[in-house]
Amino acid sequence: MFLFATCRAHIVQDIINPSLKAGNIVICDRFADSTTVYQGFGRGLELKMIEQVNNIATGGLKPDMTILIDMPPERSLQRKHNIQEDRFEREDISFHHKIRNGYLELVRQEPDRWIVINGDQPIDDIHRVIWNKVSPLLANKHLLTNDG
């Protein structure tokens, strides 16, 4: 967990914060929620401690929007059958259920920040749903940037 936090602190300090200060939009494929879910819900580390470490690592920075592509773990693992497994994918199915339930709990705690997309649909449909949610924000950011 501390290695993830150290890496995240470096990325926030050297990449994310300077980009945000420059008025850019930053998109990450994983952030502190992943650490909370995998280390807390999945591995059983104390959630309050993880929250404190995440806050130190990120300086309290939270995403404006987080997208969760949700589907039963059995199906998501089937989709990854041609991809080399990492240590998380080699975990038993109960671990993956803990991860899913952890993400859904975070969604329940902060519903305004999360967009949950049914991942049990064709990838092109998932792409379209994400684009439909994100593109208006990008357009608004572009308008704000151009108008001052």
Locate the domains of the chain by residue range.
2-120
> What is residue 19's three-state secondary structure?
helix
Q: From CA 117, how far away is CA 67, in angstroms rounded?
A: 7
Residues listed for the chain: 148
Model confidence pLDDT, tens digit, residues 34-93: 999 999 999 999 999 999 999 999 999 999 999 999 999 988 877 766 555 666 666 789
Rg (CA), the chain: 17
Per-residue model confidence (pLDDT) at position 139: 76
Domain 2-120: CATH superfamily is: P-loop containing nucleotide triphosphate hydrolases (3.40.50.300)
